[in-house]
Amino acid sequence: MSEDEKARRFVDRHFPEVARLLAARTVTVTTIDHGDVTVYEPAWCLGVHPTEGYRADIEHRGQPIRLKADTACHGEVEVLDVFLYQRPFAEQSSTAPVAVVALDEWHEFDAAQLAEFGAALTAFVAGPLHDLAEQLRLLEGGEQ
């Protein structure tokens, strides 16, 4: 019996109320190497889980927070995405929730656009990025 199965049975037996809540927040993903895998679905996950991959590739992704900028070369572009991410069965990296920062390619800014981008970046850091850091801190078990 796997460690996951032992933990699930322990919770089922000793904490039935918690077991019911966890069961209501699960998703089953079909994998190549382990068949159907039922996994806890965090409240922040968007619920998109491709099938036919490996168990280690099962992931949870949160809603992306996007920073957009108006550029001289391409007009308005998405420069930066930040989102919560977790691979509960990862073999080469952490299984805990992390924040992913996805950056775009090079873009050209004139002086006014660069100033606007700076203001947008400042607002992004002070607002949604700060809020996401607090959410991640709570997921890690820390205090606000």
Residue 90: per-residue pLDDT: 92
| pLDDT at residue 108 tops 80 | no
What residue numbers bound the domain in which 133 lies? Answer: 3-139
pLDDT tens string 33-59: 999 999 999 989 999 998 879 999 999
Task: Specify which residues 78 forms β-bridges with.
Answer: 68
Domain membership flag for residue 34: yes
Spatial separation of the C-alpha atoms in residues 91 and 96, rounded to whole Å? 12
Structure tokens at 20: 């019911």
Structure tokens at 43: 């409240």
Q: Is 36 helix (H, G, I), strand (E, B) or coil?
A: strand
pLDDT range class, residue 144, cuts 50, 70, 90: very low
pLDDT tens string 113-140: 888 989 999 999 999 999 999 999 999 8
Number of domains comprising the chain: 1
Domain membership flag for residue 121: yes
Residue 71: per-residue pLDDT: 86
Domain membership flag for residue 73: yes
| Max intra-chain CA distance, the chain | 64
pLDDT range class, residue 143, cuts 50, 70, 90: low
